Amino acid sequence: MTLRSLFLWALPVIALLASLSLGSGSVGPGDVLALLSGNGSDEARFVMTELRFPRTAIGIVVGLALGISGALLQSLTRNPLAEPGLLGVSAGSALAVTVMILMGSDSAAITTPVAQVGALAGCGLVVAVARMQGPGRDPVRLILAGATLSGLLLSLTSLIMMADQRTANEIRFWVTGSISGRQWEELFATLPSMALAGLTTALVARPLASMALGEHVAVGLGYRPGRVQFLVITTVALFVGAATALAGPLMFLGLAVPFIARAIGGPDIRRTLLLCLAVGPTVLLLADTLCRLLVAPSELPLGVTTALLGAPLMVMIVRRHRMPTL
């Protein structure tokens, strides 16, 4: 218990401090301390207020959103591999944003809703795929179908980038997944819908926990699976759309965060969701700090780091769960 709580409390704090004080530039922990005591250099002040604070805040929000969406999707599909990145939800969101920029609009105010609509469409496709799969459903197939969908949507995104140089320049870094160089306004634009999604998450947590025992059990307990499913999908779309608008389509975060949360707190979805509040931001901030340090003075795209860390985890989960043979 002590070790566990140490991880649970110490790691988020370490991640937060690391994200604030470490970077590819010259501003280090010493400058941060000086700044806190009121006498830092102007350069340090600029780096902190204009770059690192917004970046860290965005990291926290994105980690939270993706972690919770992953937990919700995994619970809904009863599939430990379900994840917005793998299933094509993020890719749907990215495509929507790309199309929007292609049409000539790039104001932060409408990016978020457009990304959320894209995510909703991606969710809809995933659910349709899961439905079409019919009685012979098995977990890996859903993931492979989702990955195909994701690949298709990202191909379309590439196609647009190829056809339109201006769009390409605007989203080149965003589309590989990154939280660097974002403004406060962009974060603020996502907050209302994030708050709404948080509220619906609280609403669906209990019914989801009973649906884990089987849809019929949930009906017996007085819940309506159809309504729960609808709420979960809306929540996921709101979260993933907002996260994608901020950080681009990130893979594997929604896989890793709930996995860690379950390892700490067991299978109950309610506890998993609570733990995601701490684990999601921690994982994302650590990954992002890693991006800044590994190849300093330049930076890795966040999407590259999450893929490098997340893919082995996915293979491990498949092996551990003894997925059926085809």
Residue type, 53: F
Binding to other proteins by residue 324, rule CB under 8 A? yes
HSE-up of residue 197 (Cα within 13 Å, Cβ side) = 30
Binding to other proteins by residue 117, rule CB under 8 A? no
Q: Which two tokens stand for residue 168?
A: 């390409």
Instruction: Kindly state the smallest distance separating residue 14's Cβ from other proteins, in Å.
Output: 25
C-alpha Rg value of the chain to the nearest Å: 20
Report 150-209 residues binding other proteins (CB under 8 A): 151-152, 155-156, 158-159, 162-163, 176
Say if CB 251 and CB 302 are below 8 A apart: no
Binding to other proteins by residue 314, rule CB under 8 A? yes
Binding to other proteins by residue 140, rule CB under 8 A? yes
Say if CB 149 and CB 125 are below 8 A apart: yes
Binding to other proteins by residue 326, rule CB under 8 A? yes
Report 279-298 residues binding other proteins (CB under 8 A): 295, 298
From 145, 166, 22, select the one nearest 79 (Cα to Cα). Answer: 145
**Residue placing its CB nearer to other proteins in the complex, 141 or 271:** 141
Say if CB 24 and CB 297 are below 8 A apart: yes
**Residue placing its CB nearer to other proteins in the complex, 147 or 196:** 147
**Total residues contacting other proteins (rule CB under 8 A)?**
45
From 23, 12, 10, select the one nearest 52 (Cα to Cα). Answer: 23
The residue range among 13-21, 206-214, 281-289, 300-308 that interacts with other proteins, by the rule CB under 8 A, is 300-308
Distance from C-alpha of 68 to C-alpha of 257, rounded to nearest angstrom: 8
Helix residue ranges per DSSP H, 22-52? 29-36, 42-46
Binding to other proteins by residue 24, rule CB under 8 A? no
Interface residue with other proteins among 144, 191, 199, 221 (CB under 8 A) is 144
Q: Name the site residues for other proteins (rule: CB under 8 A).
A: 129, 132-134, 136, 138, 140-141, 143-145, 147-149, 151-152, 155-156, 158-159, 162-163, 176, 251-252, 295, 298, 300-301, 303-305, 307-308, 310-312, 314-315, 318-319, 323-326
